[in-house]
């Protein structure tokens, strides 16, 4: 499979490493508006062709599939052009800036019949996959309550660098620079982590967003620091289960950690994923009576990159699709409206 990598920033390096390690995949071309950057990227990963525009790459056309690693706002126009050309696409998250554009992308991909996938990277976590299988097999009975959190500490720690001086982080704090805060950055991840792990669709959402003062006048240079730093939401799932989901960049002691707890009427499951690895625990069967939790072996699972390659080769669609990501984007859009209106909104109705 000959792959084109569209966009050559930091995440594109991860795509190049991951795809380059898969047998039968050739990194055929790279595209970036910055000629210097695309040249350096292509040289580093021994990519023979490099282009300064998607149009030029499409005119050439000698590639089988695309990893779209452009900035969020560029996902929609570039993916629509690729789908129109009949090219399978693995698009970075979020699929688009809003539900309307994401839905258009899903419609176009389905109408064209091309393989489409969104890189919700935590699908690569084996304990999450195993937890979903346990829920679907009825091992914890009917799900009643779900807790999920995504905790980061880069506003209180310099582990990833100093956000006060680095534009790479500052733009994430500024709505004027295209950020929708922690909700836009990791909200789609933790919503997918929770709903996929619990094997449930989201029915209603109520959300609160909060941006905290971080500098004099809440500004550093050209960056107004007004994007949300923390969010908390409650969810109603389609089966009537209740959910509590929250995320923050102020979580001291948590560099990057996702946690999911799923409670049913016959048992419970916990998934933890951080830089140290992944963990799956369960309280089921006789252990329910004495609240004993046991660690389980979740094995290994194929990565999104591997599954995308197999899907392109076979022509069989795989998850997570554009349609799934569009549904999550709808919940995120409604979360913003919910905060503004201080109201619960229905996720399976038309966008309000």
Alpha carbons within 13 A on the beta-carbon side of 329: 23
**pLDDT tens digit string along 9-38?**
989 999 999 999 999 999 999 999 999 999
Q: Where in the chain is the domain with CATH 3.30.360.10?
A: 126-300
What residue ranges of the chain are covered by domains with CATH 3.40.50.720?
A: 2-121
pLDDT per residue as tens digits for the range 238-286: 999 999 999 999 999 999 999 999 999 999 999 999 999 999 999 999 9
CB 172 within 8 A of CB 166: no
Compute the average pLDDT of residues 32-49. 96
126-300: CATH class: alpha beta
Alpha helices in 120-231 (DSSP H): 126-136, 167-170, 181-197
Whether residue 348 has pLDDT greater than 80: no
SS3 helix, strand, coil % of the chain, rounded to 5?
40, 25, 35
Question: 99-112 and 322-341 are packed helices; what angle lies between their axes, rounded to 10 degrees?
Answer: 170
pTM: 0.93
User: What is the per-residue pLDDT for 350?
Assistant: 41
The mean pLDDT of 104-111, rounded to a whole number, is 98
At the fourth CATH level, which superfamily is domain 2-121? NAD(P)-binding Rossmann-like Domain (3.40.50.720)
Residue of 40, 38, 46, 35 whose CA lies nearest to 7: 38
- Cα separation, 263 vs 284, in Å, equals 10
Gap between the Cα atoms of 202 and 323, Å rounded: 14
User: What is the tens place of the pLDDT at every residue in 304-340?
Assistant: 999 999 999 999 999 999 999 999 999 999 999 999 9
- The whole-angstrom separation of Cα 57 and Cα 99 is 28
For residue 320, say if its preceding peptide bond is cis, omega within 30 degrees of 0.
yes
CA-to-CA separations, 266 to 225, 238, 289, in angstroms, rounded: 46, 19, 10
Per residue in 180-203, pLDDT (tens digit) is 899 999 999 999 999 999 999 999
What pLDDT is stored for residue 65 in this prediction? 98
Q: What are phi and psi of 289, to 5 degrees?
A: -70, -30
């Amino acid at each position: 499979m000959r792959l084109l990598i569209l966009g050559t920033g930091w995440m594109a390096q991860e795509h190049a490493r991951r795809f380059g390690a898969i047998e039968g995949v050739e990194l055929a071309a790279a595209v970036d508006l910055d000629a210097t950057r695309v040249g350096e990227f292509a040289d580093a990963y021994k990519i023979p062709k490099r282009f300064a525009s998607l149009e030029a790459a499409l005119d050439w056309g000698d590639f089988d599939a695309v990893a779209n690693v452009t900035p969020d706002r560029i996902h929609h126009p570039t993916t629509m052009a690729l789908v129109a050309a009949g090219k399978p696409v693995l698009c970075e998250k979020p699929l688009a800036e809003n539900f309307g554009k994401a839905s258009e992308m899903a419609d176009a991909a389905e109408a064209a019949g091309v393989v489409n996938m969104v890189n919700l990277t935590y699908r690569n976590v084996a304990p999450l996959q195993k937890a979903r299988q346990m829920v679907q097999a009825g091992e914890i009975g009917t799900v009643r309550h779900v807790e999920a959190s995504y905790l980061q500490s880069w506003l209180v720690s310099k582990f990833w660098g100093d956000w006060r001086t680095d534009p790479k982080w500052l733009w994430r704090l500024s709505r004027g620079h295209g950020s929708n805060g922690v909700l836009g950055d990791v909200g789609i991840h933790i919503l997918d982590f929770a709903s996929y792990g619990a094997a449930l669709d989201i029915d209603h959402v109520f959300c609160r967003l909060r941006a905290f003062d971080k500098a004099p006048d809440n500004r550093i240079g050209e960056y107004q620091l007004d994007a949300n730093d923390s969010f908390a939401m409650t969810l109603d799932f389609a089966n009537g289960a209740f959910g509590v989901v929250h995320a923050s960049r102020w979580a001291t002691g948590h560099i990057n950690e996702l946690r999911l707890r799923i409670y049913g009427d016959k048992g419970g499951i916990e998934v933890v994923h951080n830089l140290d690895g992944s963990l799956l625990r369960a309280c089921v069967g006789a252990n329910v009576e004495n609240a004993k939790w046991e660690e389980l072996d979740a094995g290994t699972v194929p990565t999104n990159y591997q599954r995308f390659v197999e899907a392109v080769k076979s022509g069989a669609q795989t998850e997570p699709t554009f349609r799934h990501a569009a549904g999550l984007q709808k919940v995120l859009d409604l979360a913003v409206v919910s905060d503004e209106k201080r109201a619960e909104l229905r996720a399976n109705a038309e966008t309000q």
